[in-house]
Structure 1
């Protein structure tokens, strides 16, 4: 078992918080088998509220389960419970781990942010739901505070976490 953190970095304009903290957010990942090194070409979605492949090894199932096409090894990933955190205005421009994955036999290599983000504008402004960050930039207008809000230069990476 290896714990891997998904880190993001973005420049925030008039944004107080960016989050995926709801259990129905789908993390889209490209994965690599740690046994044979086979890297997937397609995106796999992983959602905290969904459980799959319940068996005798894990009666609760996993958030994601796959069998490697090359070596046939069975691999799984779970989102570490309560590891989702908010990216705030104080974090703007810096990498911050927003969620942790418990990986067994597979490691995430790429992340695609897509839709489902929740953005809260600064100074008790508007809340924007189901925001799409697939273009790495997002701009909207906060009618409550009469200012533009935006997320720019979105980046992500993965880091191995200490136990």
Structure 2
């Protein structure tokens, strides 16, 4: 099992999470390494939690299935939980956003993609939070700036 952890400095917002519904899935983007030969896949791989692929020579299925180009071993990754919201904390703390079960591969690096949503402490919903860089907006209800800064990602064995 692998867990994707987020650390961020939230000001005026909380409940930060990816937009991830069956109608509008979030595509999780990773660098993947084969656990057999240690070859790192040469491209970023993107997969969502609603699409599955059959695993060959098995009755199972996974959200991501690939065959290593170096050793030809088949590997897979399955999203085990729905994404959890990152809650504001002072000081910012690492919080698990989502968990993956990997067989024959390791997730080594995460790249943020798509949009995230956050809720202002006033109740205002911000639907277009872009975590590729620091994000700033204005919450008209309290008349204050809101932000998500110093975003950090970590992948750890769970």
CA distance in 1, matches of 2:19, 2:99: 12
TM-score (norm 1): 0.87
Paired residues for 1:17-28 under 5 Å: 17-20=15-18, 22-23=20-21, 24-28=25-29
Equivalent residue for 2:81?
Answer: 81
Equivalent residue for 2:121?
Answer: 122
- Cα shift at 1:117: 1.0
CA distance in 2, matches of 1:146, 1:76: 47
TM-score (norm 2): 0.89
- Compute the RMSD of aligned alpha carbons: 1.8
Could you list the per-position Cα deviations for residues 94-132 of structure 1 after superposition, in whole angstroms to 9, with x for gaps in the alignment?
Answer: 1111110000011111111122211111132x2112422
CA distance in 2, matches of 1:105, 1:91: 38
Aligned length: 155
Unaligned segments of structure 1, at least 5 residues: none
- Cα shift at 1:154: 0.5
Q: Contact 2:81 / 2:98 at 8 angstroms: preserved in 1?
A: no
Equivalent residue for 2:5?
Answer: 7
Paired residues for 1:95-114 under 5 Å: 95-114=94-113
Match of 1:153 among 132, 141, 150: 150
CA distance in 1, matches of 2:91, 2:84: 14
- Cα shift at 1:40: 2.1
